[in-house]
Chain A
Amino acid sequence: MGYSVELENVSKFFGKTEALKDVCLQVNEGEVFAYIGPNGAGKSTTIRVLLGILKATKGSAKIFGRDAWKDAVEIHKKIAYVPGDVNLWPNLTGGEVIDLFVNLRGDRGKKTDDALRNRLIKDFNLDPTKKCRTYSKGNRQKVALVAAFASDVDLYILDEPTSGLDPLMEQVFQACVMEQKSKGKGVFLSSHIMSEVERLCDRVGIIREGELVEVGTLDELRHLTRYTMEVSAERQITGLNNLAGVHELKEKTNSVNFLVDTPAMGTVVAHLTQFGIKKIESTPPSLEELFMRHYKKEGAS
């Protein structure tokens, strides 16, 4: 299987500001990939380079093995894009915009799937007869989502697609992504909603200040960080201070609380058994903690 998205040392300058710095990234075909990072980190710039809307100053960006800039038109037949802040034509109706996008993406001459379109409009609870100027942000987002999922494509590029959606619609969205995933379609999802990322994504890439700081599965990312341990034992637990990989140790009367690096877990647990463990609780770092660590400047490792 090939790569759906391939970035090689991609840099992008706007004047003197470097929005992307040597970004390297591969996303497998059929994979749901989360692209996360704080505001202004370069997520949308990466996506626009992938769409051939911005030209990379340096490096190469490929989708399905083709050059994102040169072969933009051919590539776009196989992808659907939903921006984070959808600007629509104020004097067109939502229904017209959906048909426009589906028609432009579809093969000419091939009939569009009206049943699917209408089902999605119903699922997302959208009134297609209203002019776009009257839509709220959430409704404009729905127009773009319906148009994307009603198109027959191989890769969905979604830039914070659920900002402005209510929790009910968030569920509809997740169901749509799961459905596409089960059909073997790929999704490149930029998001701030951790539960969404946790539920949907196979792999995660974290970008900060234009640099890709981490890529991997959630498990792999967790591996890089610390579990919270809470242990109570028959005897007073001692000697933890001297073990490598133990941090922020807090001793209470009958129990201890500390953070442990994942690789040191085995040694630590072996050490603990000699005190007669009564209860042991280990909590993996929440996604939130994981991201906060990377989002914050001082957390850079």
Chain B
Amino acid sequence: MKKGNFENSFLLTKFILRRERVISCAWIVLLTLIVVGLVPGMKTAIDLESLDSLLPIMEIPAMVAMVGPAYASITGTFGALYTNFMMLFTAITVALMNIFLVARYTRTDEERGRYEVVRSLPTGRLANLSAVMITVVIVNVVLSAVLGLGMYATGDESMCFTGSMLWGMTNGAVGLVFAALAALFCQLSSSSRGATGYSFMALGFLYLLRAPGDMNPDMEILARISPLGLALRTEAYIENNFWPIYILVAAAAVITAAAFYFNHVRDIDQGIIAAKPGRAKGSFLMKTPAGLSFKLLKSGIIVWLVSMFMLGASYSSVLGEIDEFIAQNDMYRTLILGPAGIEFTEGFTVEQTVAFMQAAVRQAGFTLPELFSAMINNIMSLVTVIALLIFILKAVHEERDIRAELIHAAPVSRTRYLAGYAAIAFVCAIVLQFALVIGLYGVAVTSLADPSELTFLFLLEANMVYVPALWVMIGVTVLLIGAAPKASGAIWGYYAYSFLVVFIGRLSVFPAWLSKLTPFGYINELPMKQTEPLTLAVLTAIAAALTALGIFFYNRRDINAITH
């Protein structure tokens, strides 16, 4: 690599920063507002007494698999609990921000022909990529500082200055690693879509990879391979370790170097992985508008199906030891045995407690694996929503990219077009949920000592009860697409609300009525409560009505209204 390869990198950096300033600032400000803003809310909701009762929840294997090791129990402070609960999801959000940022100024620019113009100027061969990476460093340093200072500004005595800055730096360092990975994939793939797709897959894989490491100390190495596992090991507000930061930054540097190498050896508009020639003729899918929609969503649907199956399987793998775990966990014991039972089992050994508990739940008519898997189904249905919203919002993206009008210029009615997208999303709600059940059940059969403790039909019911709620989320989105297409992105705000209320609501920190503002609040979680067919039927009817209303408005408005 010659010196001239980096010619004018700094000038380009200034140019990229200029184009980027609004988007990155919005990300940083919003993320900080949400992450920091939750602190006082959660603090007023949790007084110190109930804090102790929350700590055991973090030790549930499913919780560990989702948010990381139960470090909070080490110190038992509010800051520790907050890190335990929020660090991983914050880091994932930062990773997403960085992937989008890198793809936008590398592959997307290249695809749109803007990169070519930059290269025609007296700029070095690697100047654009190096400018993007300098931008990435600046953005992540700013993010670290803003987030860190924001956390410190909350003024909680358990959230010290060092820990707060470490909180910020951990996220910034994770951001650097995923920016570097995205830069690498942008060289390997020949399209922006491919590059972001590979990056998301890497993110998902690294998230799953750390789960066994977090749950089992023997597999610690898996967690240390994953940047997300390393992020957790900074233990901000607990041990305040700085060593994972060094590893993360070094990893980012190595991956960036690889990206530079591949950028240097490849041709413009090409990827290291060559694109193969496509079909000369359209398949049967190219005969109908819904076929086209399905074709456009196909790869996304497959990725989501596999992910749901894998997630189900990974949660099920802990079912084997679930009895002992619950026996040792105060909250679950109280929940299952009641105060009288606690008193009765006082002084029992773990084995005795397990035996007693199993007898108790059997008397109540269900088993411990049922209890646990039903909770997983509740939380995972919130993940399914993300996929469904992406699928249905494709209709808006098609319109924004002025491709929907091509279909409407053919003899395809508005109703047929939008209903096609809605139908795909509605069916995917069932199919994705089913993939989760298959993953859960398939592994449960092998990991449970007594497989009859968890029947397939129970799992199916515990899972499918969420489908009407998923449909309502789709219905709300269709209504937005029809009536207020420019505001259709607002559905993510509603989703974030639903997520917080249902997920964090498990800690009973919010008043109950808040959960009634989201369809998920109306679904009874098995096996403690019974399924209410009437409620599910009403939710389904609401979903259908919202969808019909959305299509009604879509028939009455201008296409391309988003661009005007």
B410 and A76 contact, CB distance less than 8 A = yes
Q: Determine which of A53, A81, A97 lies in contact with B560 in the assembled complex, contact meaning CB atoms within 8 Å.
A: A53
Q: Determine which of B269, B286, B557, B560 lies in contact with A100 in the assembled complex, contact meaning CB atoms within 8 Å.
A: B286
A60-88 contacts to B (CB < 8 Å): 72-77, 79, 81, 83, 85-88
The answer, yes or no, to whether B114 is at the interface (CB within 8 Å) is: no
Residue of A nearest to B414 (CB): A72
The answer, yes or no, to whether A58 is at the interface (CB within 8 Å) is: no
Residue of B nearest to A100 (CB): B286
Cα–Cα, bound, A128→B409 (Å): 22
Cα–Cα, bound, A123→B296 (Å): 29
Cα–Cα, bound, A133→B281 (Å): 17
Residue of B nearest to A75 (CB): B411
The answer, yes or no, to whether A37 is at the interface (CB within 8 Å) is: no
Q: Looking at the assembled complex, report how far the CB atom of B200 sits from the nearest CB atom of chain A, in whole angstroms.
A: 16
Residue of A nearest to B111 (CB): A133
Chain A interface residue number, banded: 35 or more
A101 and B410 contact, CB distance less than 8 A = yes
The answer, yes or no, to whether A243 is at the interface (CB within 8 Å) is: no
Residue of B nearest to A117 (CB): B281
B405 and A83 contact, CB distance less than 8 A = yes
Q: Looking at the assembled complex, report how far the CB atom of B155 sits from the nearest CB atom of chain A, in whole angstroms.
A: 47
Q: Determine which of A15, A103, A105, A130 lies in contact with B277 in the assembled complex, contact meaning CB atoms within 8 Å.
A: A130
The answer, yes or no, to whether A274 is at the interface (CB within 8 Å) is: no
B272-304 contacts to A (CB < 8 Å): 275, 277-283, 286-289, 292, 295-296
A124-183 contacts to B (CB < 8 Å): 128-131, 133-134, 157
By a CB distance below 8 angstroms, the chain A residues around B362 are none
Residue of A nearest to B407 (CB): A104
By a CB distance below 8 angstroms, the chain B residues around A130 are 277-278
Which of A95, A98, A100, A134 is the most central at the interface, judged by chain B CB atoms within 10 Å of its CB?
A100
- Chain B, 395-427, contact with A by CB distance < 8 Å: what is the 0/1 string? 000000111011111111100000000000000
The answer, yes or no, to whether A275 is at the interface (CB within 8 Å) is: no
A129 and B403 contact, CB distance less than 8 A = no
Cα–Cα, bound, A34→B497 (Å): 54
The answer, yes or no, to whether B558 is at the interface (CB within 8 Å) is: yes
B412 and A76 contact, CB distance less than 8 A = yes
Cα–Cα, bound, A89→B292 (Å): 10
The answer, yes or no, to whether B559 is at the interface (CB within 8 Å) is: yes
A104 and B412 contact, CB distance less than 8 A = yes
A129 and B277 contact, CB distance less than 8 A = yes
Q: Determine which of A75, A85, A99, A131 lies in contact with B282 in the assembled complex, contact meaning CB atoms within 8 Å.
A: A99
Q: Given the known inter-chain contacts A104-B410, A134-B269, please indicate yes or no for A129 contacting B405, CB distance below 8 A.
A: no
The answer, yes or no, to whether B314 is at the interface (CB within 8 Å) is: no
Cα–Cα, bound, A91→B402 (Å): 16
Q: Determine which of A54, A98, A129, A134 lies in contact with B559 in the assembled complex, contact meaning CB atoms within 8 Å.
A: A54
A91 and B282 contact, CB distance less than 8 A = no
A133 and B278 contact, CB distance less than 8 A = no
By a CB distance below 8 angstroms, the chain B residues around A75 are 411
By a CB distance below 8 angstroms, the chain A residues around B226 are none
Cα–Cα, bound, A216→B560 (Å): 32
Residue of B nearest to A157 (CB): B409
A103 and B279 contact, CB distance less than 8 A = no
The answer, yes or no, to whether B529 is at the interface (CB within 8 Å) is: no
By a CB distance below 8 angstroms, the chain B residues around A88 are 403
Residue of B nearest to A137 (CB): B113
A89 and B281 contact, CB distance less than 8 A = no
By a CB distance below 8 angstroms, the chain B residues around A100 are 282, 286-287, 292
B403 and A87 contact, CB distance less than 8 A = yes
Residue of B nearest to A132 (CB): B278
A76 and B411 contact, CB distance less than 8 A = yes
B405 and A48 contact, CB distance less than 8 A = yes
The answer, yes or no, to whether B21 is at the interface (CB within 8 Å) is: no
A96 and B281 contact, CB distance less than 8 A = yes
Q: Determine which of B193, B283, B401 lies in contact with A91 in the assembled complex, contact meaning CB atoms within 8 Å.
A: B193
The answer, yes or no, to whether B2 is at the interface (CB within 8 Å) is: no
The answer, yes or no, to whether B191 is at the interface (CB within 8 Å) is: yes
The answer, yes or no, to whether A92 is at the interface (CB within 8 Å) is: yes
Q: Looking at the assembled complex, report how far the CB atom of B172 sits from the nearest CB atom of chain A, in whole angstroms.
A: 33
The answer, yes or no, to whether B564 is at the interface (CB within 8 Å) is: yes
Q: Looking at the assembled complex, report how far the CB atom of A178 sits from the nearest CB atom of chain B, in whole angstroms.
A: 23
A129 and B280 contact, CB distance less than 8 A = yes
A73 and B411 contact, CB distance less than 8 A = yes
By a CB distance below 8 angstroms, the chain B residues around A92 are 278, 295-296
The answer, yes or no, to whether A51 is at the interface (CB within 8 Å) is: yes
A51 and B277 contact, CB distance less than 8 A = no
By a CB distance below 8 angstroms, the chain A residues around B193 are 90-91
Q: Given the known inter-chain contacts A72-B413, A87-B403, please indicate yes or no for A104 contacting B289, CB distance below 8 A.
A: yes
By a CB distance below 8 angstroms, the chain A residues around B286 are 96, 99-100, 103
Q: Determine which of A54, A97, A128 lies in contact with B558 in the assembled complex, contact meaning CB atoms within 8 Å.
A: A54
Q: Determine which of B275, B409, B411 lies in contact with A74 in the assembled complex, contact meaning CB atoms within 8 Å.
A: B411
By a CB distance below 8 angstroms, the chain A residues around B296 are 89, 91-92
A95 and B280 contact, CB distance less than 8 A = yes
By a CB distance below 8 angstroms, the chain B residues around A133 are 111, 191
Residue of A nearest to B278 (CB): A93
Q: Determine which of A54, A87, A105 lies in contact with B410 in the assembled complex, contact meaning CB atoms within 8 Å.
A: A105
By a CB distance below 8 angstroms, the chain B residues around A55 are 556-558
- Chain B, 110-134, contact with A by CB distance < 8 Å: what is the 0/1 string? 0100000000000000000000000
Q: Looking at the assembled complex, report how far the CB atom of B324 sits from the nearest CB atom of chain A, in whole angstroms.
A: 49
A105 and B411 contact, CB distance less than 8 A = yes
- Chain B, 380-406, contact with A by CB distance < 8 Å: what is the 0/1 string? 000000000000000000000111011
By a CB distance below 8 angstroms, the chain A residues around B406 are 81, 83, 86-87, 101
By a CB distance below 8 angstroms, the chain A residues around B408 are 51-53, 72, 76
A53 and B409 contact, CB distance less than 8 A = yes
Q: Looking at the assembled complex, report how far the CB atom of A184 sits from the nearest CB atom of chain B, in whole angstroms.
A: 21
A73 and B409 contact, CB distance less than 8 A = no
Cα–Cα, bound, A100→B280 (Å): 12
By a CB distance below 8 angstroms, the chain B residues around A14 are 564
Residue of A nearest to B291 (CB): A100
Cα–Cα, bound, A159→B34 (Å): 47
By a CB distance below 8 angstroms, the chain B residues around A54 are 558-560
Residue of A nearest to B287 (CB): A103
- Chain A, 23-58, contact with B by CB distance < 8 Å: what is the 0/1 string? 000000000000000000000000010011111000
Residues of B at the A interface (CB closer than 8 Å) are 111, 191, 193, 269, 275, 277-283, 286-289, 292, 295-296, 401-403, 405-413, 556-560, 564
User: With A53-B408, A76-B412 given, can you name 10 additional A-B contacts, CB distance below 8 Å?
Assistant: A72-B408, A83-B402, A83-B406, A90-B111, A96-B281, A99-B281, A100-B282, A104-B289, A104-B407, A131-B278
What are the 4 tightest A-B residue pairs by CB atom distance, in nearest-first order? A99-B282, A93-B278, A104-B410, A76-B411
30 residue pairs of the A-B complex, CB under 8 angstroms, read A15-B564, A48-B405, A48-B559, A51-B408, A53-B405, A53-B408, A53-B558, A54-B559, A55-B556, A73-B413, A76-B411, A76-B412, A86-B406, A87-B406, A88-B403, A89-B403, A90-B111, A90-B193, A91-B296, A92-B296, A93-B278, A93-B280, A95-B280, A96-B286, A99-B286, A100-B287, A101-B406, A104-B411, A130-B278, A133-B111
